[in-house]
């Protein structure tokens, strides 16, 4: 008889529920959130497992890889879908009830699996998020310095990044108390700029050694950051049967609402990876608004802008760019600047 398992993971402990084919609860127990402890418990109960379900979360990738190495048929489940089903099944929420609900969903096959990224893709993703975090904090420090000094009538004005620190020192030169407060902020800003430069160089080194990123960068508007973000998010292009599914995966397709006589399309869904969606939007904006080499993609976007406006055209180009990049990756071909390929037209 096959067993089905539901795991509700928290930082310290994981609630485990095992049910049989009829839905009868075989075991309910809490174990430490470690792959070895979970595998030890499951192997002590039995060896014939149909599905082991775990909700997507911060620890899910690590636990899924550890249980998969032990030979367990583990499946990572989409969070929003699982939350809606669990909310409909139970009134009182607890780790025990969540694990039992996940186990029953595994038994009846009522779940939506998600892709677990490879270790190499996770490392690229961490590099991108760390670089973005430092960049955001740098902008916060600059904005805070400008706003604080403005309270004393000191206006920084228009100044580049290289001359920003010199301009700040000139403004507070006659105010020793204010200068003593500003000095640690300038030191923090200087160190953050140095570390941001180091992270950016690491990113460029990764892109330089990756042939896939080189191929993606042949498309207009796609630079090193956009190419690596796309590479790390998609991870394995074969998991998308059709290239057009990538646009929906990153939330660049419109929402649909149809009920009875009501039928309309809303704004884009904004589901999926936020970082990739932002990078594709920025690439499309550069493609349409800045001077780049003319291509069929830019011509198509300009025609959309004439009919629907600039903002809608940028979103449309971002979605189509996601589709084109996936097709380039799977076919192993560079971007075609001339007429639109027949495969993409179809």
Beta bridge partners of 257: 264
Residue 320 banded pLDDT, cuts 50, 70, 90: very high
- pLDDT tens across 185-234, in order? 999 999 999 999 999 999 999 999 999 999 999 999 999 999 999 999 99
Is the pLDDT confidence value at 340 over 80?
no
Q: How far apart are CA 233 and CA 243, in angstroms?
A: 14
SS3 content of the chain, % helix, strand, coil (to 5): 60, 15, 30
Q: Which residue has the tokens 């002590």?
A: 44
Closest CA to 9 of 44, 53, 65: 53
User: What tokens were used for 26?
Assistant: 């075989």
User: What tokens were used for 203?
Assistant: 């990113």
Radius of gyration of the chain (CA): 26
Residue 300 banded pLDDT, cuts 50, 70, 90: very high
In this prediction, residue 346 carries a pLDDT of 41
In this prediction, residue 1 carries a pLDDT of 76
Stretch 105-115: mean pLDDT: 90
Stretch 281-287: mean pLDDT: 95
Stretch 74-82: mean pLDDT: 90
Q: How far apart are CA 290 and CA 284, in angstroms?
A: 10
Answering whether pTM is above 0.85, one says yes
Q: How far apart are CA 75 and CA 55, in angstroms?
A: 8
Stretch 94-104: mean pLDDT: 92
Is the pLDDT confidence value at 342 over 80?
no
- pLDDT tens across 232-264, in order? 999 999 999 999 999 999 999 998 888 888 888
Phi, psi dihedrals of residue 310, rounded to the nearest 5°: -70, -45
Is the pLDDT confidence value at 154 over 70?
yes
Closest CA to 19 of 32, 6, 37, 38: 6
């Amino acid at each position: 008889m096959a067993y089905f398992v539901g795991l509700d993971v928290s930082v310290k402990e994981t609630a485990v529920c095992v049910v049989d084919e009829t839905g009868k609860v075989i075991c309910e127990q809490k174990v430490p959130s470690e792959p070895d402890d979970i595998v030890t418990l499951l192997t002590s109960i039995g060896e014939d497992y149909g599905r082991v379900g775990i909700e997507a979360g911060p620890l899910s990738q690590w636990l899924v890889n550890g249980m998969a190495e032990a030979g367990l048929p583990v499946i990572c489940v989409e969070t929003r879908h699982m939350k809606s089903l669990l909310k409909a099944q139970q009134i009182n929420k607890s780790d025990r009830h969540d694990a039992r609900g996940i186990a029953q969903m595994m038994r009846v096959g009522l779940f939506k699996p998600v892709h677990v990224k490879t270790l190499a893709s996770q490392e690229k993703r961490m590099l991108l998020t760390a670089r973005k975090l430092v960049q955001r904090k740098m902008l916060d420090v600059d904005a805070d310095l400008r706003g604080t000094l403005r309270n004393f009538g000191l206006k920084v004005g228009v100044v580049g990044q290289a001359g920003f620190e010199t301009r700040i020192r000139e403004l507070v030169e006659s105010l020793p108390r204010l200068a003593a407060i500003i000095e640690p902020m300038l030191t923090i800003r200087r160190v953050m700029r140095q570390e941001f430069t180091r992270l950016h160089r690491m990113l460029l080194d990764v892109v330089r050694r990756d042939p896939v990123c080189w191929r993606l960068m042949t498309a207009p508007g796609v630079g090193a950051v956009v190419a690596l973000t796309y590479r790390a998010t998609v991870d394995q292009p074969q998991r998308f049967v059709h290239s057009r599914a990538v646009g929906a995966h990153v939330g660049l397709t419109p929402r649909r609402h149809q009920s009875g006589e009501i039928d309309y399309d809303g704004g884009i869904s904004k589901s999926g990876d936020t970082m990739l969606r932002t990078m594709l939007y920025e690439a499309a904006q550069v493609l349409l608004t800045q001077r780049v080499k003319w291509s069929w993609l830019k011509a198509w976007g300009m025609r959309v802008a004439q009919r629907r406006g600039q903002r809608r055209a940028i979103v449309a180009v971002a979605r189509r760019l996601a589709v084109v990049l996936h097709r380039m990756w799977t076919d192993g071909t560079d971007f075609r600047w001339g007429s639109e390929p027949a495969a993409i037209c179809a």
